[in-house]
Amino acid sequence: MIMSANGPLKGKRVLLTRAAHQVAPTVELLRERGAEPVAFPVIAMGPPPEPEQVTRAARELSRYDLVAFTSKNGVDWFWRELERLGLDAGALGTVKVAAIGPATGASLTERGATVDIEAKTYVAEHLAEAILDASLPAGARVLLLRALVAREALPDALRAAGMTVDIVPVYETVPGSVERRDELRQLIGSIDIVMLTSASTATNLCELLGADAPSQLARCMIASIGPITSAAAVDLGLEVAVTATESTTIGLVEATEAALS
* pLDDT tens digits along 130-181: 999 998 999 999 999 999 999 999 999 999 999 999 999 999 999 999 999 9
CA distance 76 to 146: 11
Mean per-residue pLDDT for 33-49?
A: 96
Asked if domains 13-42+176-260 and 46-172 share a fold, the reply is yes
On whether the pTM is more than 0.85, the answer is yes
DSSP reduced 3-state for 123: coil
pLDDT of residue 253 exceeding 90: yes
**Is residue 2's pLDDT more than 60?**
no
Average pLDDT over residues 119-128: 91
State the Cα–Cα distance between residues 136 and 90, nearest whole angstrom: 20
Residues 48-69 have a mean pLDDT of: 97
Tens digits of residue pLDDT in 187-235: 999 999 999 999 999 999 999 999 999 999 999 999 999 999 999 999 9
Return the HEC string of 201-254: HHHHHHHHHCCCHHHHCCCCEEEECCHHHHHHHHHCCCCEEEECCCCCHHHHHH
Reported as a single tens digit per residue, the pLDDT across 70-88 is: 999 999 999 999 999 999 9
Return d(Cα 254, Cα 259) in angstroms, integer: 9
Span 58-81, mean pLDDT?
97
| Amino acid occupying residue 3 | M
Question: What pLDDT, on the 0 to 100 scale, is given for residue 4?
Answer: 64
- Provide DSSP, 74-98: HHHHHHHHHHHTT--GGGGTT-EEE
For domain 46-172, the question of CATH label 3.40.50.10090 is answered with yes
Considering the segment(s) 13-42+176-260 as one domain, its CATH architecture is: 3-Layer(aba) Sandwich (3.40)
Q: Please give the Cα distance from 114 to 99 (Å, whole number).
A: 10
| DSSP state for residue 33 in the 8-state scheme | T
DSSP-derived letter for residue 21 is G
Domain ranges of the chain: 13-42+176-260, 46-172
In this prediction, residue 245 carries a pLDDT of: 92
Can you tell me whether residue 49 is helix, strand or coil? Answer: coil
| Average of per-residue pLDDT values in the chain | 95
Q: Give the pLDDT of residue 6.
A: 80
Measured distance CA(169)–CA(44) in Å, rounded: 15
Given this model, what pLDDT does residue 1 score? 47
Query: Is residue 240 within 8 Å of residue 211, measured between CB atoms?
Result: no
